[in-house]
Amino acid sequence: MQPHDSPSEPEAARQAAVQPTAAATPVKHGTLLLSGFWARGNAGDEAMLQAVIETMGEGFDYALSVDEHGAHPGFWDWYPYAGRRIVNQSQTDAILRIPDAIGLLAGGGGLPLGFGAGQQIYARARGLKTAIAGIDIWSMAAKAGKPAAAEAGRYLGHFDRAYVRTASSIENARLGGFADVLKLGADWALNLNADLNPDIGDERDRALVVLREDDRSVLAPDYREQVRRLLAALWGVGLVPVLLPFAPEDERLLEELGLGRLAPVERCWWNARRLKQLSARSGLTLSIGRLHPMIFAAPTGRPVMTVGRPTIKAGRRADGKLRHMAADLGVDLHDTVAEAVLAIEAGQIRPADADKVAAAKARLDAQADDLRRFFATMAPARPA
């Protein structure tokens, strides 16, 4: 499948085949406007959108709020955009353009403070319900009495429901003095279905390596050499590395730095389900700097490892969202590539903690159940 494929292609048929099937004709409660970092081709964000729709279920119709300025060309033919109403995130009153709209659901992911506030305020002004779910709480808001904490509390407090995806976000909110407006949920992408492509074999010696695109001005000057040493360590323990871009920007990084000459490249960033299937049928998923490879891999029971971003700033710890998610899912996290190489050479290649993954998925179920009931009470139900 290519990024411009029509949803009528075989891939879309396979995707539709793994969607939940209702036992009876669903009752429709109205249309939810979903807002997030959609349509850019970033597999993590696309996975969250797919999982929101499939987890919330067929009781709702869905319209999608997209920043069309930054969107990938042809996104409107991808699943789940094809056939759905798309509005621009700059249209504050966009919800008026949606027949039988019942509310706004924002998230998830690393949304900035105030994301979608215009559409949220307008929806509330029209008497509609709003929620935000699966997000992080920003470290800058973890200081009570400071402007960032005050604004974070106001912003999140104006949603009828607000769910964060890690325990550390609850702690940041507690330090900022606004934890009372939050509930602990989980990342929507934990519910992503794997693709069923029969051509993807179960290869325990395959090691998927995700390299996050970054600004060249902050990448460590020896970045390419760090990657080479990492790949050599994998070969040294009998694993065969395959580079796996998770976004078009990741693929561009491989091309610009000539990293594709160091190992084979599997290009399917536009198909989040295929990426999860690869994790479920490989011996290791290793991500440098990207969050969602660990979220895709953690529920599969296959080994997974995450490494911080190799930047020019020496001694930098892995980004907070990597640390917090790794702690929640029991995934091995290394601040540097050198640390990861030592762990690989020592045979320390492990799956995520099964109990922690199960607990996160249970929180996600509770998050979805609550939001489903919450939005379903907005308007009288109608037959589908």
Taking only the tens place, the pLDDT of each residue in 1-36 is 444 343 333 344 344 444 444 456 778 999 999 999
Buried b / exposed e over 309-319, threshold 16 CB at 10 Å, is bbeeeeeeebe
Q: What is the pLDDT of residues 92-126, one digit of tens each?
A: 999 998 989 999 999 999 999 999 999 999 999 99
How many CB atoms sit inside 10 A of residue 373's CB? 9
The whole-model pTM stands at: 0.91
d(CA 182, CA 185): 9
Pair of tokens at residue 206? 């395959």
pLDDT of residue 178: 98
Whether the pLDDT of residue 213 is over 50: the answer is: yes
Q: Are 98 and 88 in contact (CB under 8 A)?
A: no
Percent of the chain with pLDDT over 70: 92
pLDDT score, position 294? 98
What's residue 23's pLDDT? 53
Q: What is the pLDDT of residue 24?
A: 64
Residue 315 has a pLDDT of: 75
Mean pLDDT across the stretch 193-220?
95
Q: What's the pLDDT score for residue 176?
A: 98
Three-class SS of 84-106: CCEEECCCCCHHHHCCCEEEEEE
Q: In this predicted structure, what is the pLDDT of residue 381?
A: 44
pLDDT in tens, 39-73: 999 999 999 999 999 999 999 999 999 999 989 99
The token pair at 189 is 């992408």
Helices (H), 237-332: 248-256, 272-280, 292-297, 320-329
pLDDT at 316: 80
> How many percent of the chain have pLDDT more than 90?
86
Tell the residue number behind the tokens 């409660």, with chain if given.
29
Quote the pLDDT of residue 179. 98
Give the span between the Cα atoms of 376 and 38, in whole angstroms: 24
* pLDDT (0 to 100) of residue 374: 97
